[in-house]
Amino acid sequence: MEAEVLVIGGGLGGVAAALAALRAGRRVVLTEEFSWLGGQLTSQAVPPDEHSWVEQCGVTAGYRALRDGIRAYYRRHYPLTERSRAWRELNPGAGHVSRLCHEPQVAVAVIEAMLAPYRGSGRLRVLQPYRPVSAETDGDRVGAVTVAHCDGGDEITISAPYVLDATETGELLPLTGTEYVTGFESQSETGEPSAPDTAQPLNMQAASVCFALDHVDGDHTIDKPARYDFWRTYQPAFWGGPLLSLSAPHPRTQEIAERSFTPNPDDDPLAVIADQRISPGDGDLWTFRRIAARRNFLDGVYGSDITLVNWPMIDYLAGPIFDVPDAAQHLAAARELSYAFLYWLQTEAPRPDGGTGFPGLRLRGDITGSADGLAQAPYVRESRRIRAERTVVEQDLSLAVRGDKGAVEYADTVGIGMYRIDLHPSTGGDNYIDVPSCPFQIPLGALIPQRMENLLPAGKNIGTTHITNGCYRLHPVEWNVGEVAGALAAYCLERRVPPRAVRNTPGLLADFQDRLVGDGVELRWPQIAAY
């Protein structure tokens, strides 16, 4: 199979990359190993983590179209109350983590609608479920990538002038011999104040296997997991108690904090203030990442809220899920941990009435699109990362370092983002690193590999460090990165120049940035002038 732009990985970055290249008139092949496109928003079942100004600015026009499409889908197809239907900033789940908490299949429907015209025209081919297994290279160029059907059997080799790696873990980097880094870099390499003296390549943020729950009448207790007794007594050194509990370190202070857990509180969805400047929102676990608030819908339609479990207690710390010989075992153990926590909630969790266990908690695999009840894919916070022409480091954007100067401004900016430096506990035994950052830019240099000429990162595999990945890994930034990668591939095809020439030739860079602005990509945070 041939394409002009080949996008491997159909997460948010991959979808955005495909759309950008398609809008520029290019033929695209997009591959994805899971049954849903959308990655962390859908198959990983993670409601969007977004900055406080998302309703006004700070995201691309493409990402805003996705958000607007999700709200429009609810208004068009769901039996909302009149009050909720009129809510301009409709938050279907009224979760505290985001102003737009929603069921993942709604995002799938909107993404498919965005891609539908290009499928119909034949300019987009989507291969699902396929994953990359090998690549052909010639010096500093990738000639083709072979993908295999995830159910076994057929393989397809796809050639293209430009190949984009939008996989969740940067799978094309080792397959193509592209130089990359994993885990924690050393302070001598990056100069980062929070980095260790020695590099720790296998020290990565925890992955999590999320799941959806509601709470209804009856006993819905799952079978006791085989290693439940192990997980029941498992205690990370810094946790202050067993992992399976309602207590966990507070991300910002690291003090042990007790969370509350009350299924189906009779709260007013429109009264929820989802602003992480005020609070991380995880004080009450039920409403933290709630994706369907029953009071947003007509009486009796939803018998229960639906909440999404992406909580500290399912962060898997025992080992990485890639670049180690036992990666598959760690991934299986991460899924087992999620089942163990659910079983603990159903049988042992303390209730407000003094009893124990919530047997009415029901696993909603229909909501996550999986037969086993959990999310289709693990939530991967940290990927392999290219060795880039420009690596974003902590001192570029840390509030403690930059102060009122704001984040470093890059001449080659191709987008903006904002999130705290939010590192979950790690496979190396580190506690949270969760510290303030400044609204930042995305440098084009972070998308340009030091050596490879036609391979571009299109997700969390850009040139960040272990530390700065903590604020570049969230939904809007991943979309922005993917959109720019797709637009860059299309621009290079049009102008017949390599990506690094676009970055390093002032006239080309200015022209490409103008193209991005024309497509609705914000390059700088707004400064409000008096008048």
CATH number at residue 110: 3.50.50.60
Residues sharing a CB contact under 8 Å with residue 130, sequence separation 6 or more, in sequence order: 31, 32, 33, 147, 148, 149, 150, 156
Torsion of CA 216, 220, 224, 225, to 10 degrees: -70
Cα–Cα distance measured from residue 425 to residue 517, given in angstroms and rounded to the nearest whole number? 37
For residue 105, give the 3-state DSSP assignment. helix
Domain limits at 352? 207-264+304-380
Amino acid identity, residue 156? I
Last residue of a domain, one of 334, 356, 380: 380
Q: Which region, left, alpha or beta, applies to residue 45 given φ > 0 means left and ψ of -120 to 50 means alpha?
A: left
Buried b (16+ CB within 10 A) or exposed e, 345-372: bbbebeeeeeeebbebbbbbbebbbbee
Residues sharing a CB contact under 8 Å with residue 292, sequence separation 6 or more, in sequence order: 92, 93, 103, 302, 305, 306
* Domain match, 394 and 360 both: no
* Domain match, 457 and 375 both: no
Contact present, 466 and 490 (Cβ < 8 Å): no
Give the count of domains, the chain.
2
Q: Is residue 315 part of a domain?
A: yes
Burial of residue 51, with CB atoms counted within 10 A of its CB: 0-12 exposed, 13-18 middle, 19 or more buried: buried
* Domain match, 392 and 367 both: no
Residue 22 pLDDT: 98
Cα–Cα distance measured from residue 128 to residue 18, given in angstroms and rounded to the nearest whole number? 15
Q: Is residue 190 part of a domain?
A: no
The segments of the chain whose pLDDT lies below 70 read: 528
* Domain match, 223 and 356 both: yes
Q: Is residue 274 part of a domain?
A: no
Q: What is the pLDDT of residues 19-32, one digit of tens each?
A: 999 999 999 999 99
Residue 531 pLDDT: 73
Contact present, 172 and 145 (Cβ < 8 Å): yes
Q: Is residue 68 part of a domain?
A: no
Both tokens of residue 504?
């390093």
Last residue of a domain, one of 347, 380, 413: 380
Cα–Cα distance measured from residue 325 to residue 335, given in angstroms and rounded to the nearest whole number? 18
Residue 160 pLDDT: 98
- Full 3-state SS string of 193-206: CCCCCCCECCCCEC
Residue 278 pLDDT: 80
* Domain match, 442 and 515 both: yes
* Domain match, 39 and 114 both: yes
Cα–Cα distance measured from residue 110 to residue 100, given in angstroms and rounded to the nearest whole number? 14
Tell me the backbone φ, ψ of residue 37, rounded to 5 degrees: -80, 150
